[in-house]
Structure 1
Amino acid sequence: MDKEKDEELEWLEAQKIETSVDLFAAAKKQLQFLETVDRNRGLYDGPALERAIYRYNACWLPLLAKSVSEGPLVPPLDCEWIWHCHRLNPVRYKSDCEQFYGKVLDNSGVVSSVNGNCKSKTEDLWKRLYPEEPYELNFDKVDSEDVSEKSSNLEKCTKYDLVSAVKRQSPFYYQVSRSHVNNDIFIQEAVARYKGFLYLIKKNRERSLNRFNVPTYDVDLIWHTHQLHPVSYCTDLEKLIGKVLEHDDTDSDRGKGKKLDTGFSKTTAQWEDTFGTRYWKAGAMYRGKTPAPVTTSPYASNVLAQKITENEDSQKLIQLPELEVVEVLLEVIGIRNLPEGHKGKLSVVFTKTQPDSLFNVERRLTILSEVGEKQVASFQCEPTGELCFQLISSSPSKIPVSREPKNFGFASLSLKEFLFPVVTQLSVEKWLELTPSKGKTDPKPISLRVAVSFTPPNRCPYILHMVQPRPSCKGSCFFPIIGKSRHAKSSTQIVDETQTEVIRLQMSSDGAAQKQVIRVVNSGETRVLAEYNGSSWSLLDLEWSLKQVNADNPLYELLGTRLVKIFSGRKLDYEPKHCANNRNDQDFMTLVEFSKEHPYGKAVGLLDLRFGSIEAKENWMVLPGIVSAFILNNVVKKGGFDGFNATTKVAQQESLKTNGLKAESKQIKLVATVENKVKANTVNMETAAAIIAPEKGSGCGGGCSGECGNMVKATANASGCGSGCSGECGDMVKATANASGCGSGCSGECGDMIRAPNASGCGSSCSGECGDMVKAATKASGCGGGGCSGECGDMVNAKKASGCGGGCSGECGDAVETVGVA
């Protein structure tokens, strides 16, 4: 208990650190600024970037140094972006300013171009000082004139490599771009954690310890915010630690044993030893590399002039409840008051007292204090009900296996208490007293110390599935839409995760040029939802149109109240991450909305053509998405028909065939059923601190150099790939025993693991394409020892489940060390 009090006192001492900046308000402004820059990506590279750097050195810094304007200065967006990146090397920025201008040029008296409504005075001053240089730079029409000679002739021009600085800072926005980051409670907690981060650095300085402290992304956001106020930052840090704290953003190698990896591990260990709380935080960990853009040219916003209004009559056709989702990180820290003489292996089984569509299984974690190795679970659930924990003791190996595990009792933690109706707290770490499953309450009850972190609730995507009822089956019997072509009047059910019917559709054809999509109800009443006019489809009473695009990608365009382009494969937010799975990208189509707010596209839906599922992120996308998915599934299944040229779909059709899509095969039925059930439980492995699969499992085994499957709802030892996998390896789908996507030495494409005991996609030394369920591997980890050169999941090295083993040379996460180091 004394240690816990000391840890609390350390935290309170850290919170006494003072900064001369309102970091909360400034962080909000920084997020808005980064969002604006991301809509003008010409500033990330190329001629616009070079011109911006020239204008920054030749115009903005001299103007700022003169500071002769009455009222606030407002920099042009391009100059502000370069200034932003320059200030994020505070030591270099300070020295450059002092060398050329004799003082640190501050942002006091400057208003961001994003927030400034008083540009006119600055623009007038700019025009008087620089009559040949426009105040606002048109990023799309930058002259290709060589500015390097002009820059070299500037009297006051930093030699700092601003091009490289911009390229290092450009990916940062992706890491902090999700909506929960802008939540007030999230930012308030980030400010407090930043003070804790500075406190650790202060303690290291006092002990003459040279440590490379690595922030989580919530802390890094506030650190950046502080640096953007250069005078305040210099003053605050010199007062705190006696020097200006450097911000080293030059190292981006996240491989195991590298500077970032070891620095993060040591920072985690120091934080948890000092404050007694977890360093990891839900929604603040590394998300993986920035997805590849679907276009390099911004969308012309004047294409859509019509007012965005939804057809109320169409919206009434389906009624789906709006659900919220939170991401959760969970770790069991310790145990106390365990009975003397206890023998057996302890673990904690956790579930929800009110299972929901996102989380409805039991999962298991070890206890850090018992095994000395960190194991952190990541999952998504609705922000309702309670998390329930049961302490289980399994028999020692010398005792017969038939002996039932002992249940020491249970405890619960309310999610509603923290998240509903308003968010009050996003992290909690506390002792939970166990209620015995049998017998009387002990005066010294067994207690578990549990650490839980949440993201603020966000709207949950709608996930629906296309299935066809089989007349011969009784009750609920489904099989996927892909299979043998049915006669024209067969109907397809669209069902939700509970297999409740949402809507029923059928394709009606009276000739090559006359086709309709019809909604059918049990009474026999029908309604036409889409008609084919010989070249395109009109949907929902002409509210939307679906047409083929004469280009390889995107393939189709859905135009209505919004513009949605449909791309082949998984794009943007759906791009496979870490050791993402074996599924051929031609199985998928991504729906991308283009607008003034999202000129480079925003992923709003995903179609899985192989298993007939639809995910829609927005309510307005649900009905047009369902109808479009139904049409496109028929196009791919039948190889195309009039208007949607069959020849452009040959590659997709062949891809589906080579992936084993035999009509109504038992295997495909099973995969579809299992996949449909587990879709909502799939976890996006976004964290640099360990996110592991249900019991013992993870993305890749040793030597994985290809794309390897995510762990999805496994109930025992499992992984996407076994040792040596260098091809694309299958997803782990609800395995019930030891399993992996690929066995040792797999270098080809390996099959999906489909709910099989003791199995893997490939057996030892498999070098070709391997069939599904090849009964091999046992235990697994993220990447095994030596030679991992692919993209591997970010995980903590948990017991028999880790991110990357030794020798990982690809994009491996910020792995946290195993025994006692976190």
Structure 2
Amino acid sequence: MMDKENNDHEVEWLEAQKVETSVDLLAAAKQQLLFLAAVDRNRWLYDGPALETAIYRYNACWLPLLAKHSLSEGPLVPPLDCEWIWHCHRLNPVRYKSDCEQFYGRLLDVSGVVSSVNGNCKLKTEDLWKRLYPEEPYDLDVDKVVSEKSPDLEKCTKYDLVSAVKRQNSFYYQVSRSYVSNDVFLREAVARYKGFLYLIKKNRERSLKRFCVPTYDVDLIWHTHQLHPVAYCNDLDKHIGKVLEHDDTDSDRGKGKKLDTGFSNTTAQWEETFGRRYWKAGAMYRGSTPAPVTTSPYVSDVLDKEPTVKEEFESLIQVPDVEVVEALLEIIEVRNIPDGHKGKLSVVFSKTQPDSLFDAERRLTILSEAGEKQVAFFQCEPTGELRFQLVSSSPSKIPVSREPKSLGFASLSLKEFFSSAITHLSVEKWLEVMPSKGSKTDPKPISLRVAVSFTPPTRCPSVLHMVQSRPSCKGSCFFPIIRKSRHAKSSTHVVDETQTEVISLQMRDGATLKGDQTAQRQVIGVMDSGETRVLAEYTGTFWSLLDSKWSLRQTDVNTPLYELLGTRMVKIFSGRKLDYEPKHCANRRSDEDFMTLVEFSTQHPYGKAVALLDLKFGSIEAEENWLVLPGIVSAFILNTLVKKGGSNGFDTTTKVAQQESLKSNGLKEVSKETKLVAAVENKVEANTANGKTAAAVIAPEKGSGCGGGGCSGECGNMVKAAIASGCGSSCSGEYGEMMKATNASGCGSGCSGECGDMIKAAKASGCGGGGCSGECGDMVRAARASGCGGACSGECGDMVKAANASGCGGGCSGECGDMVKATKASSCGGGCSGECGDMVKAA
């Protein structure tokens, strides 16, 4: 019966792949991504007088020119502003078709048109434009825009193009991740788009009116198809019988709203029809677009400089290059369970060879057993195997102290995804469960159906932690792995995520400046060999870094606070900005504890977040290799200045302004160095038995929020979480905050509440899935802690300083309990109807 069902699913999928399109959607999607990036570099096209002028030029100049153009005259190249309005108009294919036919008697197509971002010669188009519109320049001069253009044109659409543009502004953020243009990712997206069209066709054949909602990979291909109007109309009319409308007017992702219910229904229909998972890693909602750090682009001669060849300073430290993938995992069903089994089944998953990104155990319910979708979002290195342990928890009538029983293990190798050549990023298959030692062997082995998808590998940001040591200690007080103290003087050890020291830093007085009694400050770097180098010197007005290759100086404005200039322009802002911006939920940690380093370049005139500095816990996350060393040195200087109120760092003439700036941004409220050192000592003492170092507990990473299901409460704040995820599906609240989350996933559909708080959580999980109708729990500095695994209808509990702790594994209807300093402790494994209890120092 099951084999027949699987065959039926495969037949449906193969039928869907017969949907033909007369456009090379993969190549065209890449072209669209390039164009959207170009528009994003010219954000005056998003709003204001320039947008109104662009709309006028589109109606008055571009469409008439396109209508008169003959293919024999050579390709046309539209001005960027006109191409952007044309782009948005075509994304309402039904309205665009009717407008073209009304005003020009035919559907105006892209044949014979080349995008303005392709670098093709546009001289012929400029000449033609000047002949037809001598008073209107070909390229829009934004500085001379006036809003006096009359909208009363003879041929002008009544379609609200201003609103259409504003609806498309946020789309690029959702698809701008580097792996989206990967060929394997796009090929799967094209196949899924055909499946999407096939579902709509089936609905029409059954006279079913359903609002189908695409994931973002499908939506990208759908947009791409619509941007070729003639092909889109012909293809859709052939396969579906009508030109399919593209309704992008709904943006409310609240629980029960049209977008939320549409996505849930599309998910159910997709999985019922194809037997494949609809949710996909890298294709889910990222959250709202972050606020910009500037409304106008920065211009500097630095922007035109190319980075110099690798300098000798870059070889002073060795930071391992690590690749990272996002993963989305779901356990579909289990078969051949022994007769008479009465326990509640779930799956604990981990990696057989834990890596620097994922070395936790997390629990998932099984869809066929729990009756509700639960997924796990996480990040890991693309190596080793995923390991699945099938466990059985005691029925609710048996005391909860009974340990879950292991029924066996299964594994899935990542080699098939990430060998020398990636061919596919998703799989859904049956895995045989090998019985645990001592378990009774059944003639029919238990099997698990597992679905997992990945994103293509990308470079993992370098996360480095700075920890102060005391000169009075013999050896290192804080790092058992560090062999000996290299200085009698106080040092700051910089360690990577594997707790390997990469460099040691000191701040010391240098030579006296001429005519000034103030001693010059220097930053000294001590290498593993014991060699010392001067990495930075204070000149009296600014810091000169790495033999004057870079300079760090204070600005004369409050925003940004500082500038790091060299072969690149980097401005340093107070708080968490751009990709590091917290989402939705109230912050448990003050934004004043952070600084964001933002690079400005020709490719990113409005800024690209390249590093986050955590002042309170002394860590820096660097997105690019070129920033690692200057970033570490700058972080060390800034961290020292902030703790000392800005003294002994910059010119005395700027001290007052600097202190006022720091005060206005709350930076003097950071914890004192002595408190940090004491905290480190306590952490090391508490975790010595587990072999953890201070760095592992000071600035832990790798947390996750609601993995899936419908979180109707709060799904979670993720601050400094590198393996973080929000709600996987229809989070009825807000999908959660992911601060410092690397390629974190938000809701696949709509979130209407808040998904919970995870602050400095190491490998922590919030609500794993189900429907968290309350709060999924606070996780404050939790090491490898898990929140709710299933459907928490109340509060899933606080996890404070929990090491290897688990929260609710199943359906907690009350409160799942507090876990305070719990080592390898587990709370509710099944269905907790009350409170699961407190676990205080439970080993």
Taking structure 2 as the reference length, the TM-score comes to 0.82
1:298/1:725 Cα in 2 relative to 1: closer, same or farther (>3 Å)? same
Secondary structure of 2:494's aligned partner = strand
- The code of the aligned residue for 2:191 comes to A
- 2:783 alignment partner in structure 1: 734
State the AA in 2 paired with 1:54. Answer: Y
In structure 1, C-alpha distance between the alignment counterparts of 2:368 and 2:760, rounded to whole Å? 26
Spell out the pairing of 1:570-589 with structure 2 (5 A cutoff).
570-579=576-585, 581-589=587-595
Distance 1:704 1:136, change over 3 A: closer
Conserved? CA contact 1:636–1:653, under 8 Å: no
- Shift of residue 407, structure 1, vs aligned partner: 1.4
Q: What is the 5 A alignment of 1:273-352?
A: 273-352=272-351
Equivalent in the alignment of 2:663: 651
Seen in structure 2, the aligned counterparts of structure 1 residues 589 and 377 have a Cα distance that, compared at 3 Å, is: same
TM-superposed CA distance for 1:660, in Å, is: 9.0
List aligned pairs for 1:214-233, cutoff 5 A. 214-233=213-232
What is the rounded CA distance, in whole Å, between the counterparts of 2:781 and 2:535 in structure 1? 37
Q: Which residue of 2 aligns with 1:357?
A: 356
Amino acid at match of 2:444: K
The residue that corresponds to 2:12 in the other structure is 10
Which residue of the partner structure matches residue 85 of structure 2?
82
Report 1:453-472 matches (<5 A). 453-470=453-470
Instruction: Give me the whole-angstrom Cα distance separating, in 2, the residues matched to 1:165 and 1:737.
Output: 42
TM-superposed CA distance for 1:373, in Å, is: 1.1
Q: 1:772 to 1:602 in 2, by over 3 A?
A: farther
Unaligned runs of 5+ in 1: 480-486, 761-770, 781-797, 802-822
Cα deviation, residue 437, structure 1? 1.5
Aligned-partner SS, 1:464? strand
Query: Counterparts of 2:352 and 2:18 in 1: how far apart (Å)?
Result: 40
Alignment of 1:605-624 (within 5 A): 605-624=611-630
What CA distance in whole angstroms lies between the structure 2 residues aligned with 1:361 and 1:474?
Answer: 33
Flag the 1:347–1:310 CA change in 2: closer, same or farther, 3 A: same
Deviation at 1:738, TM superposition (A): 6.8
Q: Secondary structure at the match of 1:374?
A: coil
What secondary structure sits across from 1:445 in the alignment?
A: coil
Equivalent in the alignment of 2:707: none
Structure 1 residues 20 and 121: CA distance shift in structure 2, 3 A: same
Distance 1:307 1:732, change over 3 A: closer
Deviation at 1:447, TM superposition (A): 0.3
Asked if 1:255 is matched to 2:254, the reply is: yes
Q: Please give the alpha-carbon distance, in whole angstroms, between the structure 2 residues aligned to 1:20 and 1:73.
A: 21
8 Å CA contact retained: 2:385, 2:414 = yes
- Cross-structure match for 1:764: none
Q: Do structure 1's residue 44 and structure 2's residue 46 form an aligned pair?
A: yes
Determine the C-alpha separation between the residues in 1 that align with 2:280 and 2:549: 43
Pair 1:520 & 2:522 matched: no
CA change 1:707–1:279 in 2 (3 A) is closer
- Matched to 2:700, the amino acid is K
Matches within 5 A, 1:595-614: 595-614=601-620
Q: What secondary structure is seen at the aligned counterpart in 2 of 1:597?
A: coil
- The alpha carbon displacement at 1:416 in A equals 1.8
Residue deviations 1:40-66 (CA, integer Å, cap 9, x gap): 111011121111101000000001111
Q: Distance in 2 between matches of 1:3 and 1:744?
A: 34
* 446 and 729 in structure 1: CA distance in 2 versus 1, 3 angstrom threshold: closer
CA change 1:649–1:298 in 2 (3 A) is: closer
Match 1:755 to one of 771, 782, 802: 802
TM-aligned CA distance change 1:267 to 1:524, over 3 Å: closer
2-structure distance, mates of 1:661, 1:755: 24
How far off its partner does 1:108 sit?
A: 1.0
Asked if structure 2 preserves the Cα contact closer than 8 Å seen for 1:311 and 1:543, the reply is no
Matches within 5 A, 1:185-584: 185-438=184-437, 442-470=442-470, 477-478=477-478, 489-510=489-510, 512-521=518-527, 524-579=530-585, 581-584=587-590
Q: Distance in 1 between matches of 2:128 and 2:309?
A: 46
Q: 1:85, 1:615 → 2: CA distance? A: 37
Equivalent residues of 1:581, 1:709 under 8 A apart = no
Q: Return the offset for 1:751.
A: 10
Q: Deviations over 1:472-509 (max 9, x none)?
A: 77887539xxxxxxx99311100011211100000002
Seen in structure 2, the aligned counterparts of structure 1 residues 717 and 303 have a Cα distance that, compared at 3 Å, is closer
Q: CA, structure 1 residues 287+135, in 2 after alignment: closer, same or farther (shift >3 Å)? A: same
Q: Does the residue aligned with 1:506 lie in a helix, a strand or coil? A: strand
Amino acid across the alignment from 1:164: S
Change (3 A) 1:679 1:433: closer
Whether the aligned pair in 2 keeps the contact of 1:544 and 1:624 (CA below 8 Å) is: yes
Distance 1:723 1:8 in 2: 36
* Change in 2 beyond 3 A, CA 1:419/1:517: same
Q: Which runs of 5+ in 2 are unaligned?
A: 480-486, 513-517, 684-693, 704-720, 737-744, 809-817, 834-843
* Structure 2 CA distance for aligned equivalents of residues 658 and 267 of structure 1: 48
Change (3 A) 1:557 1:34: same
Cα-to-partner distance string for 1:376-425 (whole Å, 9 max, x where unaligned)? 00110000000011111122233344544221111111112211222111
Deviations 1:636-668 (A, max 9, x none): 010002426252354278556377987248557
| Contact persistence 2:332–2:366 (CA under 8 A) | yes
- Cα distance change of structure 1 residues 661 and 542 upon mapping to structure 2, 3 Å threshold: closer
Asked whether the 8 Å contact 2:762–2:785 carries over to 1, the reply is no
Aligned equivalents of 2:696 and 2:69: distance in 1? Answer: 67
Post-superposition Cα deviations, 1:114-135, rounded to whole Å, max 9, x if no partner, equal 1151311111111100011111
Structure 1's 186 and 582: CA in aligned 2 closer, same or farther, altered over 3 A? same
Measured against aligned partners, the alpha-carbon deviations of 1:675-696 in whole angstroms (never above 9, x if no partner) come to 5233586334366527999xxx
Query: How far apart are the structure 1 equivalents of 2:623 and 2:138?
Result: 39
C-alpha distance in structure 2 between counterparts of 1:490 and 1:477, whole Å = 11
Over 3 Å counting, the alpha-carbon distance change for 1:369 and 1:310 in structure 2 is same
Taking the aligned partners of 2:620 and 2:831, their CA distance within structure 1 comes to 36
Matched residues in 2 for 1:488 and 1:473: separation? 9
* C-alpha contact 1:506 1:517 (8 A) present in aligned 2: yes
Judge conservation of contact 1:333–1:448 (CA < 8 Å) in 2.
yes
Letter in 2 for 1:80: E
Tell me the SS of whatever aligns to 2:151.
Answer: helix
SS of match in other structure, 2:535: strand
Per-residue CA deviation, residues 726-763 of structure 1 (Å, 9 max, x unaligned), is 9x9775633758799xx9999xxx99943288999xxx
Aligned equivalent of 1:790: none
Q: Could you tell me how far apart the structure 2 residues matched to 1:711 and 1:341 are?
A: 44
Give the Cα separation in 1 of the matches to 2:126 and 2:492: 61
CA contact (8 A) 2:255 2:730 kept: no
Equivalent position SS for 2:12: helix
What is the alpha-carbon distance in structure 1 between the residues aligned to residue 495 and residue 764 of structure 2?
A: 26
What's 1:815 paired with? Answer: none
Q: Distance in 2 between matches of 1:245 and 1:337?
A: 44
Percent of residue pairs identical: 68
2:606 maps to amino acid: Y
State the secondary structure of the residue aligned to 1:663: helix
Letter of the structure 2 residue corresponding to residue 527 of structure 1: R
**Residues 88 and 224, structure 1, Cα contact 8 Å, conserved in 2:** yes
Aligned to 1:678: 701
Q: Describe the shift of the 1:723–1:90 C-alpha distance in structure 2 as closer, same or farther (beyond 3 A).
A: closer
Q: Which amino acid aligns with 2:197?
A: L
Question: 1:334 and 1:409, CA in 2 relative to 1: closer, same or farther beyond 3 A?
Answer: same
